[in-house]
A and B are shown apart, each in its own frame.
Chain A
Amino acid sequence: QQQVKQSPQSLIVQKGGISIINCAYENTAFDYFPWYQQFPGKGPALLIAIRPDVSEKKEGRFTISFNKSAKQFSLHIMDSQPGDSATYFCAAQDSGGSNYKLTFGKGTLLTVNP
């Protein structure tokens, strides 16, 4: 059972454009939603995270939008750069649970063309 669904699977954007990646979750107990960025041959690295008490969080060119009623959240990358080319994973966690696991989506391969 896939608890976090991520789309699209791959995305090609021109330099300077906006990249948008969407995720949907099922477990209403999830209360922590991070995005991780992974370059080839490297481990994932935290990009930005949000909790459901806010609807949007912005850090530089990266913004998370969160819709609690729809159980959806998305990552927007403004002014996309070739250096942003990587795989992006959304994730979710029930911070009050006893399992402590982070549930990841399947990932989106972003390619930013120069």
Chain B
Amino acid sequence: ETGVTQSPTHLIKTRGQQVTLRCSSQSGHNTVSWYQQALGQGPQFIFQYYREEENGRGNFPPRFSGLQFPNYSSELNVNALELDDSALYLCASSWTQGAGELFFGEGSRLTVL
């Protein structure tokens, strides 16, 4: 059983650029959530996807968008990058939309210069 995998692991972008982060969910999981973890902070909820539809969103602007594919893998897209977007982006998959264990990947470390 493979766990949650994310790519790329590290990347550097400049302000104003766009970035796409990818996530493969754990086998059997149909729900994917994305979190942003700034240095020294706890993860903050960006949004969740269930059966290819966004079904929950945190306090992030529309330039943060996502997709979930039929195989339950997912992408996080961020447009018009700002310096404050520098963070570790974590993908988590689960069997359910509601309360229950989240299985996190190791994250994608984004640096915006």
Q: Contact residues of A with B, CB < 8 Å?
A: 4, 6, 31-32, 34, 41-46, 49, 89, 91, 93, 95, 98-107
Asked if residues A46 and B101 are in contact (CB atoms below 8 Å), the reply is: yes
Closest residue of chain B to A99, judged by CB? B56
Q: Tell me which of A32, A34, A104 contacts B42 (CB under 8 A).
A: A104
Asked if residues B45 and A103 are in contact (CB atoms below 8 Å), the reply is: yes
Asked if residues A43 and B55 are in contact (CB atoms below 8 Å), the reply is: no
Say whether, besides A89-B43, A101-B58, A103-B45, A44 and B97 are in contact (CB < 8 Å).
Answer: no
In the bound assembly, the distance between CA atoms of A100 and B58 in angstroms comes to: 9
Chain A residues with Cβ under 8 A from B48's Cβ?
100-101
State whether the Cβ of B2 lies closer than 8 Å to any Cβ in chain A: no
Chain A residues with Cβ under 8 A from B55's Cβ?
98, 100
Q: Contact residues of B with A, CB < 8 Å?
A: 4, 33, 40-45, 48, 55-58, 90, 92, 97-99, 101-102, 104-107
B36 to chain A, nearest CB (A): 11
Say whether, besides A99-B56, A106-B41, A106-B42, A46 and B98 are in contact (CB < 8 Å).
Answer: no
In the bound assembly, the distance between CA atoms of A43 and B6 in angstroms comes to: 11
Asked if residues B106 and A41 are in contact (CB atoms below 8 Å), the reply is: yes
A27 to chain B, nearest CB (A): 14
In the bound assembly, the distance between CA atoms of A31 and B99 in angstroms comes to: 9
Asked if residues A99 and B57 are in contact (CB atoms below 8 Å), the reply is: yes
Chain A residues with Cβ under 8 A from B102's Cβ?
44, 46, 102
Say whether, besides A44-B104, A95-B99, A100 and B56 are in contact (CB < 8 Å).
Answer: yes
A111 to chain B, nearest CB (A): 15
Asked if residues B90 and A43 are in contact (CB atoms below 8 Å), the reply is: yes
User: Which of A4, A31, A107: most chain B CB closer than 10 A?
Assistant: A107
Chain A residues with Cβ under 8 A from B43's Cβ?
44, 89, 102, 104
Chain A residues with Cβ under 8 A from B99's Cβ?
31-32, 93, 95
In the bound assembly, the distance between CA atoms of A106 and B102 in angstroms comes to: 18
